[in-house]
Amino acid sequence: MLLATGGAGYIGSHTVRALSAAGQDVVVYDDLSEGHRDAVLDAPLVIGDILDTELLERTLRDYGVTAVLHFAARCYVGESMEKPQLYWRINRDGTRSLLDAMARAGVPNLVFSSTCAVYGEPDRLPMTEDLPHRPVNVYGETKSAMESEIRAAPGLRSVIFRYFNAAGASEDGVLGERHDPETHLIPLALMAQRDGGQLSIHGGDYDTPDGTCIRDYVHVCDLADAHVLAAKHLLAGGESLTANLGYGRGYSVREVIDAIERVTGEPVPHVVGPRRPGDPPQLFAEADRARSVLGWNPTRNDLDLIVEHAWKTLTPAPRTP
Ligand SMILES: NC(=O)c1ccc[n+]([C@@H]2O[C@H](COP(=O)([O-])OP(=O)(O)OC[C@H]3O[C@@H](n4cnc5c(N)ncnc54)[C@H](O)[C@@H]3O)[C@@H](O)[C@H]2O)c1
């Protein structure tokens, strides 16, 4: 049995479903602060706070858990600068609480959700795992600090994944991205179309071919597949590993808008505003390690496909009375 903290959230729910499809039993542990009860499919749900070490320990013991996937976190860059204490509490103290519970219950395997935000502005591209950590926001600082503690935890084996930009949704339209507030480009652009709003592009004068920022968008189901492999790797006694998860190819904001217009057949209303502090011009991964060590073979590396799946699962506009 596996335990997925934050399994009611965006990446966690897609992963739980992929694990179940692969024949792996999973229990979800989530306080539903950001996640959704109806996103937990094919798995029992324990509602609890990551800071509740006793409940975590009891859950690990009761379900006979052998490995944990730790998605639960606060993950808004802007909010992390406004409320740093909240981020240290949930992301650092929460992870410590989980590590304590795992040590007490004798669970030796962990898959941890880290982020490309640990690198800050990289010296070179594509970004390899050995680049120095120079996070430019509190969110990235908390994740970088927890990576170090996880690596140093006695008796623990871990796969630390640094996701680039998770995007898209399940192919059948059952699961999707439902952050509140939404901060990710593709859902924001689709929502601007749907609601008659306007997408703000943060800066059009970067040193990139079309002046907008370039990011590595990776389909959430490919991320989920990597977790299935990571769990198998650890349960088979594999070595600890830190690996990027991206496609190694970036798309600019304008290219994403073009893809959305192609797929939906509708223009994306937008306005180009000033740059946002701390936004590097380009971020894209080198993800050979996940491929070579885990045998990760992402099959959805197609921007139009990502957009199509996100569009299909976009929550309908709230009804006005
Ligand atoms: N979405 C991305 O592009 C991205 C990129 C890099 C890293 N990550 C990391 O991946 C993980 C999942 O991200 P996501 O986009 O699915 O976020 P999400 O907000 O959709 O999911 C996080 C889940 O954690 C739960 N949670 C939050 N605080 C909790 C607490 N105190 N106790 C118990 N549960 C709690 C929420 O209810 C939610 O279900 C996070 O750790 C995030 O930092 C995400």
Q: What is the 3-state secondary structure (H, E, C) of the chain?
A: CEEEECCCCHHHHHHHHHHHHCCCCEEEEECCCCCCHHHCCCCCEEECCCCCHHHHHHHHHHCCCCEEEECCCCCCHHHHHHCHHHHHHHHHHHHHHHHHHHHHHCCCEEEEEEEHHHCCCCCCCCECCCCCCCCCCHHHHHHHHHHHHHHHCCCCEEEEEEECEEECCCCCCCCCCCCCCCCCHHHHHHHHHHHCCCEEEECCCCCCCCCCCEECEEEHHHHHHHHHHHHHHHHCCCCCEEEEECCCCCEEHHHHHHHHHHHHCCCCCEEEECCCCCCCCECCECCHHHHHHHCCCCCCCCHHHHHHHHHHHCCCCCCCC
Confidence of residue 316 (pLDDT cuts 50, 70, 90): low
Confidence of residue 34 (pLDDT cuts 50, 70, 90): very high
CATH fold for domain 185-214+248-313 = UDP-galactose 4-epimerase; domain 1 (3.90.25)
Confidence of residue 321 (pLDDT cuts 50, 70, 90): very low
Alpha-carbon separation of residue 189 from 46, 88, 269 (angstroms): 34, 31, 8
Confidence of residue 317 (pLDDT cuts 50, 70, 90): low
The reply to whether ligand 1 has any atom less than 6 angstroms from the CB of 163 is: yes
Nearest of 297, 250, 292, 300 to residue 126 by alpha carbon: 250
The reply to whether ligand 1 has any atom less than 6 angstroms from the CB of 91 is: no
Q: Which residues neighbour 277 within 8 Å (Cβ) at sequence distance 6 or greater?
A: none
Q: Which pLDDT score, from 0 to 100, does residue 78 have?
A: 85
**Measured distance CA(108)–CA(102) in Å, rounded:** 7
Q: Are strands 214-215 and 251-252 parallel, antiparallel or unpaired?
A: antiparallel
Q: What is the pLDDT averaged over residues 294-302?
A: 97
The reply to whether ligand 1 has any atom less than 6 angstroms from the CB of 223 is: no
Sign, CA torsion 90/82/76/163: negative
Q: Which pLDDT score, from 0 to 100, does residue 319 have?
A: 47
Q: Which of 139, 163, 206, 247 is catalytic?
A: 139
pLDDT tens figures, 203-213: 999 999 999 99
CATH number of 2-167+217-245: 3.40.50.720
Residue 310 CA, ligand 1 centroid: distance in Å: 18
The reply to whether ligand 1 has any atom less than 6 angstroms from the CB of 246 is: no
Q: Which pLDDT score, from 0 to 100, does residue 318 have?
A: 53
**Measured distance CA(235)–CA(227) in Å, rounded:** 12
Confidence of residue 315 (pLDDT cuts 50, 70, 90): low
Buried b (16+ CB within 10 A) or exposed e, 280-307: bbbbbbbbebbeebbebebebeebebbb
Confidence of residue 77 (pLDDT cuts 50, 70, 90): confident
The reply to whether ligand 1 has any atom less than 6 angstroms from the CB of 250 is: no
Residue 163 alpha carbon, nearest atom of ligand 1: 6
Q: Are 108 and 157 in contact (CB under 8 A)?
A: yes
Q: Are 306 and 221 in contact (CB under 8 A)?
A: no
The reply to whether ligand 1 has any atom less than 6 angstroms from the CB of 9 is: yes
Best residue among 5, 10, 38, 86 to mutate for probing ligand 1's pocket (most ligand atoms within 8 Å of CB) is: 10
Our answer to whether residue 163 is catalytic in this structure is no
Residue 74 CA, ligand 1 centroid: distance in Å: 6
Best residue among 75, 83, 111 to mutate for probing ligand 1's pocket (most ligand atoms within 8 Å of CB) is: 75
Best residue among 33, 112, 186, 256 to mutate for probing ligand 1's pocket (most ligand atoms within 8 Å of CB) is: 33
Q: Atom 42 in ligand 1: which residue has the minimum CA distance?
A: 75
Residue 210 CA, ligand 1 centroid: distance in Å: 32
The reply to whether ligand 1 has any atom less than 6 angstroms from the CB of 30 is: yes
Round the average pLDDT of the chain to a whole number and report it.
95
**Measured distance CA(66)–CA(59) in Å, rounded:** 12
What percent of the chain has pLDDT above 70? Answer: 98
Q: What is the pLDDT averaged over residues 142-163?
A: 98
Residue 90 alpha carbon, nearest atom of ligand 1: 31
Q: What is the pLDDT averaged over residues 106-124?
A: 96
Q: What is the pLDDT averaged over residues 53-82?
A: 96
Least confident window among 55-59, 87-91, 134-138: 134-138
Residue 128 has pLDDT above 50, yes or no: yes
The reply to whether ligand 1 has any atom less than 6 angstroms from the CB of 8 is: yes
Q: What is the pLDDT averaged over residues 164-173?
A: 94
How many CB atoms neighbour CB 78 within 10 A?
Answer: 13
Q: What is the pLDDT averaged over residues 15-22?
A: 97
Q: What is the pLDDT averaged over residues 175-194?
A: 89
> Structural domain boundaries of the chain?
2-167+217-245, 185-214+248-313
